[in-house]
Amino acid sequence: MEEENKELKIEQFKEGYKLTCKLTGWLDPNTSTELVSKLNLNGVTLLYFDMTNVEYVFSAGLRAFLMLQKMLEPQGGTVKLFNVSDDIRNIFECTGFGSLLEPKA
């Protein structure tokens, strides 16, 4: 069986110091590197990720969010994820990354 090539689509919307990224697809070792490299964090202190269309997050994706949080800390910034599916929410909570999640609506 041939492995599918999973992709990540990143849509960015910047308003002042807030950057919202709508993600679609998979966060795996290949796409998580792309995520970090494509974001322009100049002047950003609030980095939000809309996870509505994220199908799966591998450990490399968790690492990417942690790396982004560490990049924003010197300027007092933070990373938050919203519209997270129950399955992905469970991954974040079980691995100790629950603080990145916005409360369920």
Q: Which helix (H) or strand (E) holds 68?
A: helix 59-72
Entry pTM? 0.91
> How far from 88 is each of 9, 23, 42, 54, 74, CA to CA, in Å?
17, 13, 28, 9, 28
pLDDT digits (tens, 9 = 90+) for 30-39: 999 999 999 9
The residue to which tokens 């796409």 are assigned:
31
Q: Which of 101, 79, 80 is nearest to 90 (CA)?
A: 101
DSSP character for 16? Answer: T
Structural domains of the chain ordered from first start: 8-100 (3.30.750.24)
Sole residue written with tokens 């041939």: 2
Q: What is the pLDDT of residue 1?
A: 38
